[in-house]
Structures are given as C-alpha cells and as structure tokens.
Amino acid sequence: MTKHNEEELRVLWRKQATATIRLSPEQLRERAEQFERQTRRRYLRDQVSFGIVAIAFAYGVIALDGGLVRLGCALLLMWALNGMYGLHKFGSALSIPVDAGTETCAAYHHRQLERQRDIAISLPLGIGLAVPGFVLFAIGSSLGPRQLPWEGAIALVGVFAFMCLAVVIHGRTLAGKWQREIDGLQAIRDRTN
C-alpha cells in the first residue's frame, strides 16, 4: 500500500460519521463508574498474574539447573516486575470525583478511556520484552542437565507464541472498542460546544 493510499484511507476514516450517543448525565456517570470498576478488576487480575509469574521465575532462578535456564528465568522475572511497576504507574484506575458535574464526569471518562486504550495498544511492546528471556529459557531447557526434548521446547515456544498473539488481538479489540467510545464522547462534547 502506498503512502498516498494510506493518506486517503485516513481522510476517509476521519470523515466517517460517528454513532450519535445520547446520554443523560446519570447514564454518563453510571457508564464512567462501570468502566472504573472494570478497570480495577482488570488491574487486580493483571497484577496477580504478573505476581504469579514473578514468583515462578524467581523460584526458577534459584532452583533450576543450567546457566541459560537461570538467565532466561532472571530476564522473565525482571519482565514480570517491570510489568507490575508499569501497571501500577500507568494502568491503575483513576477515581471519579463524587461531586463531579457532567462536564467533569465526561472529561474523566474520556481520559480514562484514553489511558486504557493506550495501554492496550502498547501490549505488543510489553510482550516483546519477555521474548528474549523466554527464548533463553526454552533453549536452556533443551541443552541443560535435565534436557527437555526439542519437541517439548518447540511446543513450549508454540504455546508462548499463541498466547502472545491472543493477548495482542484481545488488546487491539479492546482498543478499538474504547476508541469508538472516545469518538462518541468527543461527538457529544462537540455538539454541546
């Protein structure tokens, strides 16, 4: 696809009519609170998942034999700890002010949707940081003192690749859903101004 065609597609995309959303202030507040609850549950689930991964690979650094396996475990442990930190810093839900008016609630919801969309879009980069550690772990498992057959290592890599692909597809789907809601909120804001 040429640059010219890509630009035409972008212009066509921007000219599309967005679905008109008509929300009362109460509906907007309820929608923002529901999204906040979902974000908190997702944050907790992801933190627990990263914690389990961190514990498993910390154990691997200590208990497993072979330099490559330990190095892979150490890299995956650092990846999990980095993921926990990144979630804490960027992925936690913002609390909606109790006495917020309609404009404040809309701005809050808009900002929260943007934050979560940006995290979902960045999932491939986050998963990509785990690849070197996982590759070293898989190779070390096949070459180390307790050798995993090559078929097992290949199956392990296949499962890892499938999980990465599933997470990326899920993240892109969520990002698209949230972008449509952001566009709808922007349309409401444009109509009121």
Could you give the CA distance from residue 49 to residue 56 in angstroms, rounded to a whole number? Answer: 11
Specify the 3-state DSSP secondary structure of 95.
coil
43: in domain: yes
What total number of domains does the chain contain?
A: 1
Give, for 117, the enclosing helix (H) or strand (E).
Answer: helix 102-121
Exposed/middle/buried for residue 146 (C-beta within 10 Å: 0-12, 13-18, 19+): exposed
* pLDDT, tens digit, 9 for 90 and up, residues 7-66: 776 666 666 665 555 667 788 888 888 988 999 999 999 999 999 999 999 999 998 888
Residues 91/43, Cβ–Cβ less than 8 Å? yes
Domain assignment present for 11: no
The reply to whether 13 falls in a domain is no
Task: Give the residue numbers spanning the domain of 105.
Answer: 23-192
Q: What is the pTM of this model?
A: 0.76
Could you report the per-residue pLDDT of 66-98, keeping only the tens digit for each? 888 899 999 999 999 999 998 888 888 777 777
139 lies in some domain: yes
